[in-house]
Structure 1
Amino acid sequence: MAIVTTIRRDVVTLPAALPGPDNPLPPLRPLDEVHRIDERDRENLPADMARQIGHAPLHSLLPVPVRDGYGRAREPLRTDALILENDRLRATVLPALGGRIASLLHKPTGRELLYRNPVLQPANFALNGSWYSGGIEWNIGATGHTTLSCSPLHAARVPAPDGGEMLRLWEWERLRDLPFQIDLWLPEGSDFLYVGVRVRNPHEHPVPTYWWSNIAVPEERRVLAPAAEAYHFGYERRLRRVPVPAYDGSDRTYPLNSTFAADYFYDLPDGRRRWIAALDGDGHGLVQTSTDALRGRKLFVWGTGPGGRRWQDWLTEPGTGGYCEIQAGLARTQLEHVSLAAESEVSWLEAYGPLSAPPRGEWDAVLNGVEQRLEAVLPRAAVDAAHASWRAHADTEPDEILATGSGWGALEVLRADRKLPGTPFDEHTLGDEQAPWRELLRTGSLPEPRRVRPPGATLVAPHWRDMLETAPATPLTEYHLGVAQWHAGDRAQAVRSWERALELAPSLWPSLRCLAVADQESGNHERAAARYAEAFDDLCRERRDSGESWTAAMAALGREAVGALLAARRPAEARTVWERLLPETRERGRFRLLEAEILCAEGRREEARAVFDAGFEVADLREGDETLGRLWARVSDAPLPARYDFRMRPSAP
């Protein structure tokens, strides 16, 4: 007898590096985006793809903060899980960690269909920093891993289309100001997890939209998708069309046949069913399919080179096996954004489940065999029908709240007096971060803090900027107004706002730091260095304790100040800043690297080499960052040691 689908609470315990505090400095600089292409490649792309690649790219992370407070030391962490289960599948969902599906177990065979990471190790892969690998993640916002990777989502129990239970996840994505929902359910007796996704644009103007569902699977697989060609993107930042399955003498549908990290965006023909599968040598594995709105399919590989293997060990646990990612998105590539019309929405249905089919042989025959098997176990018409049935339930209000996300959606709903059926952003979710902005909304004035502290979260959307412009010109208001003006591209006005804030502010360092960034962006590195030094000195005088928020501010500002002073060739002042940091901050890998840079600037090459020899780990090393290799080349003629080799492209030093 089939077991009716159930949703229950559980707790998952993993060795985890704790997330630490967010960076309190507003991210004013342009994104260091590795997913850019050479302009000469754009000329050879289809017109719609070329247009969407250039469509409304992000220029900063505002209003989202950077998350760089994590380390590498792990300890057991208990995190809440929601278990969705029928007699065929068991899905483990982590609502506090981006709604990630950490596990999808096929119960009759005992097979785990995903790559299940045995650790929770944050790394600098999300747009805003902290991200972890494994399972199925939901990426919304802009090119890259979502800023919600390590953030809580709202979750609730909702009636499913078949009369059972459905798990709803939802949040307000802040980079594009878009609410979204993800509904997961297991039809009775089904081998497939259904996932209904809806992204809504409640605004009176179109909004650039991005979505990719990323599925981590063991890399000892063959990845199959119905395509004869793909767009290959490597970290050389070139996008070129290549044949599938083989090019340059190797079958690239086997992840271990690539040397360097790469993306393969499969060019699925119009009209053909959308699916992607990863099968082992015996033909068993996972298939993902969807309605046609989810157009793109992709394979990401780390490659077998030393850099790729180092990243695998860095993100997981050495000796536990590597992974690759199969993905599905709204556009053909992740370099594109599609336009979501004003006051409209886009939705689709995905299905995830086991598949067994012969993985070897002539390419077209293999694809035909997989498609026939997929049609037998889950007809294309059934997926379309499930989507239509689900759409009738997408507005159903939740029965029981199971987890709570952020209060930012509630603030936006309150501001615009919106009603978003099915995804309640209730006022009770408003917290301390939203409190001053709620006061601005209610009274027209942004309250000044009662005690000296870092300035807190900032908002930059046009409606909030308008409110700041008409609010009383207090120092904190001028500071936040400057950030919003900077985000809007009005840099001259932003500088004037920060200069006005300096005249009356009890805390000088927040506005001084913003002015220093403005100097850097305009090429005035000498004045930027001077302002950074002054800002750090002011922060040292103002710091009240060694608590988390002040320590995070000292670390973030100190790191930027050292970089600015070194760029201005003022190593003595850079060392002074570094030495005033708290001892526990100086022991972090990022600051050991800064120490080596200072030593190099002082001409103390052997001592800089000794920092490398003693060993350090830069926990927030960015995807594609080649700083370690470049600095090593300055201190040693020897090959880059394996522990520091994170190179993702053949042309790296």
Structure 2
Amino acid sequence: MATTVRRTVLTLPAAPVGPANPLPPLRRLADPHSVDERTRRELPREMVRQIDYEPLRTLLPVRILDGYGRDRTPTAIDALVIENDQLRATVLPGFGGRVHSLHHKTTGRELLYRNPVLQPADFALNGAWYSGGIEWNIGATGHGALSVAPLHAAVVPAPDGGEMIRLWEWERLRDLPFQIDLWLPADSAFLHVGVRVRNPHERAVPLYWWSNTAVEEHPSTRILAPADEAWHFGYERTLRRVPVPDYRGEDRTYPLRSEHPADYFYEVPAPARKWIAALGGDGHGLVQTSTDTLRGRKLFLWGSGRAGRRWQRWLTEPDTVGYAEIQAGLARTQLERVRLEEGAELSWLECYGPLAGEAGTVHGANWAAAVAEVESRLAAALPREAVEAAYRDWLPHADSEPVRTLAVGSGWGALEVLRSGAKLPGTPFVESTLGEEQAPWRELLTTGAVPEPRRVAPPGPSLVSPHWRDMLETAPADPLTEYHLGVAQWHAGDLAQAVRSWERGLALAPSRWPLLRCLAVADEESGHEQRAADRYLEAFEDLLQERRDDGETWTAATASLGREAIESLLHAGRAADARSVWARLRPPVQRRGRFRLLHARLLLAEGLREEARAVFDAGFEVADLHEGAEILGEVWAAVSDDPLPERYDYRMRPETP
């Protein structure tokens, strides 16, 4: 059959992603992938330079997605299918362009871990993420901020004259447009993926990219890559060079032979072909290979310990198979960023397909022989020269204009193109995609002023890049402009000027709580705990007076501000004021798992240890529990001397003696 592209609809049990948190994410990022100074002194200089290269301070201008729960209902999800005689790939344009399934028709095998549910969890940089398939991570260390966001999608001509799917968006953390082209050459058993990132700015920009593939994990699953060493990173925040495959008495290329979650970044020699494979006990599985630009390869494993198994169940349904992740990136490790020069672009080609090796050799004790077996099978199925040739054939088509629209992403790229006049052939960011969130910024661009809101509502998203900050600085200084200007100044690291802008806006603001909340965060950052608590209390009072309805936006604002206010008041030792905020939260908010945990902390602060223990005994689930978070264990230790119950055990690092 000829390669075809078509739309379809999948029905999956899904929990809605929910509304974005309307409070701008001002706090410094707590990076679980940072390393201490002693570790840094032992790393190669190039690696340290790239680790230090412009790490994110905050998530601005992106908003946090924490409004989801854990109640799943059958949900229709738009999907795109690209198919030939050998493969069928199913792509979800509304969820970051993820490849949900890669089905090998010849053998009837699913090559990926295909999650049977869509359950958001707090693993992405900005919150909501879900496991499974192949995801595309751009921006900064971790799962990208577009994990559950819609991308633009269209049909474009493929290099072989057929059709391919193009996905594209404007990544806002680094202000970079990117595209992903997926096609199946005629009679090929390999999905081809061309990726291009462009820098339209007059300055160099840090670039981070990792393609993340989830594969089924069984006791016999082995991960192979052309490396004899790896950089091991655990949640103890240490990065050390270790041998492959054996480390501390176990063969770590079998994910279930490790107890705790860990990353293994393989030290692939520069001349070596770049690939990574996950093969089962029969020698069959998936291989990923690429052009050499995508130099890094990684294994992430959950391990066989209680917490790792718990996380696996949390992300899917009980009794479903687990998964490991094989990944490919631009640097050796995910702690690093590479430099994309002004006006430059970077592109590469990735290929995903089935691989079958001789099982005895693949799983033999001779690591070199196992790697050579995969190398030879890959060379027969898809020679290295063929990948390079496919990349060269694709490049002239990267600028081809779409011929049929399949899905629509956000309007942020259209706004940036309107502002800058950037020419980005092949990825049209058209004005028709501009929406309500972009409307005030389009008016600022055309009139030089931020428009007055047409209704009372929480402020919309702020823009923080230098050109928008410059426009805000010259706009009429009304309270809403001062609010957005302060957010942009805060993002730029000008904290004192941000505070002055917020204070100026506060003097005349009809809506005081957004500015008070920003000032409270600034007080916390500068160590003024009591003043921060005062401002949070005043902000919460003002929000309750201004709130207009029980709609999604106001409910999200009240819950988010209430939670921050209670935490600030508890930190300041003001349990009575924290109780007053708690009492005015709506019962549905109080019943959320995150707030049940917060209530246990409040009860502890009030000296009611048995009542706090009763909250745990009654049971709750914190839907937005963050990857690596240890708060459940910490609060449990304060309410009970008993061991942490399994249902609350999400610890991702070994216990210290």
CA distance in 2, matches of 1:25, 1:248: 46
- Aligned position for 1:321: 321
| 1:219 maps onto 2:222 in alignment | no
- Aligned position for 1:627: 631
- Aligned position for 1:199: 197
| 1:242 maps onto 2:242 in alignment | yes
Gaps of 5+ in 2: none
Cα deviation, residue 16, structure 1: 0.6
Cα deviation, residue 503, structure 1: 1.1
Note the alpha carbon deviations across 1:566-618, whole angstroms, 9 max, x for none: 00000111011011011110000000001000000001000000000000000
Note the alpha carbon deviations across 1:442-467, whole angstroms, 9 max, x for none: 00000011221101111000000000
CA distance in 1, matches of 2:202, 2:41: 33
Q: Does the CA-based 8 Å contact 1:261-1:649 persist in structure 2?
A: yes
- Aligned position for 2:621: 617
CA distance in 2, matches of 1:393, 1:403: 20
Gaps of 5+ in 1: none
Note the alpha carbon deviations across 1:245-270, whole angstroms, 9 max, x for none: 01100000000011000000000001
- Aligned position for 1:331: 331
Query: Where does 1:137-216 land on structure 2 (aligned, <5 Å)?
Result: 137-216=135-214
Q: Which residue type is aligned with residue 135 of structure 2?
A: E
SS of structure 1 residue aligned to 2:114: coil
- Aligned position for 1:309: 309
- Aligned position for 1:531: 535
Q: Does the CA-based 8 Å contact 1:138-1:146 persist in structure 2?
A: yes
Q: Does the CA-based 8 Å contact 1:12-1:79 persist in structure 2?
A: yes
SS of structure 2 residue aligned to 1:539: helix
Among 114, 120, 136, the residue aligned to 2:118: 120
Q: Which residue type is aligned with residue 198 of structure 1?
A: R
- Aligned position for 2:595: 591
- Aligned position for 1:34: 32
CA distance in 2, matches of 1:440, 1:451: 18
Q: Which residue type is aligned with residue 622 of structure 2?
A: V
CA distance in 2, matches of 1:96, 1:147: 13
Q: Which residue type is aligned with residue 561 of structure 2?
A: L
CA distance in 2, matches of 1:233, 1:397: 42
Cα deviation, residue 7, structure 1: 0.3
Among 132, 135, 149, the residue aligned to 2:133: 135
- TM-score by structure 1 length? 0.99
CA distance in 1, matches of 2:500, 2:45: 42
- Aligned position for 2:100: 102
Q: Which residue type is aligned with residue 427 of structure 2?
A: T
- Aligned position for 1:545: 549
- Aligned position for 1:228: 228
Note the alpha carbon deviations across 1:504-560, whole angstroms, 9 max, x for none: 111100000000000000000000000000000000111011010000000000000
Among 467, 471, 488, the residue aligned to 1:467: 471
Cα deviation, residue 38, structure 1: 1.5
Q: Does the CA-based 8 Å contact 1:626-1:652 persist in structure 2?
A: no
CA distance in 2, matches of 1:247, 1:145: 27
SS of structure 2 residue aligned to 1:4: coil
Cα deviation, residue 289, structure 1: 0.1
Q: Does the CA-based 8 Å contact 1:234-1:261 persist in structure 2?
A: yes
- TM-score by structure 2 length? 0.99
Among 355, 360, 368, the residue aligned to 2:363: 360
- Aligned position for 1:69: 67
CA distance in 2, matches of 1:450, 1:273: 58
| 1:483 maps onto 2:473 in alignment | no
- Aligned position for 2:558: 554
CA distance in 2, matches of 1:375, 1:252: 25
Percent of paired sites with the same residue: 72
| 1:512 maps onto 2:510 in alignment | no
SS of structure 1 residue aligned to 2:94: helix
SS of structure 2 residue aligned to 1:97: coil
Cα deviation, residue 652, structure 1: 6.3
Cα deviation, residue 651, structure 1: 2.8
| 1:393 maps onto 2:391 in alignment | no
CA distance in 2, matches of 1:325, 1:59: 27
| 1:600 maps onto 2:598 in alignment | no
* Deviating more after overlay: 402-411 vs 37-46: 37-46
Note the alpha carbon deviations across 1:9-41, whole angstroms, 9 max, x for none: 000110011111100000000112101111111
| 1:342 maps onto 2:348 in alignment | no
SS of structure 1 residue aligned to 2:76: strand
Q: Which residue type is aligned with residue 259 of structure 1?
A: E
Q: Which residue type is aligned with residue 434 of structure 1?
A: Q
Q: Which residue type is aligned with residue 486 of structure 2?
A: G
Q: Runs in 1 of length 4+ with deviation above 2 angstroms?
A: none
Q: Which residue type is aligned with residue 132 of structure 2?
A: G
CA distance in 2, matches of 1:174, 1:31: 16
Q: Which residue type is aligned with residue 3 of structure 2?
A: T
Q: Which residue type is aligned with residue 543 of structure 1?
A: R
CA distance in 1, matches of 2:312, 2:282: 24
Cα deviation, residue 50, structure 1: 1.2
Note the alpha carbon deviations across 1:354-413, whole angstroms, 9 max, x for none: 000132110000111110110001000000000000001000000011000000000000
Q: Does the CA-based 8 Å contact 1:529-1:568 persist in structure 2?
A: yes
| 1:573 maps onto 2:577 in alignment | yes
Once superposed, what is the RMSD of the aligned Cα atoms? 0.7
Number of residues paired by the alignment? Answer: 651
Q: Does the CA-based 8 Å contact 1:236-1:651 persist in structure 2?
A: no
SS of structure 1 residue aligned to 2:336: coil
Cα deviation, residue 305, structure 1: 1.0
Query: Where does 1:425-444 land on structure 2 (aligned, <5 Å)?
Result: 425-444=429-448
SS of structure 2 residue aligned to 1:603: coil
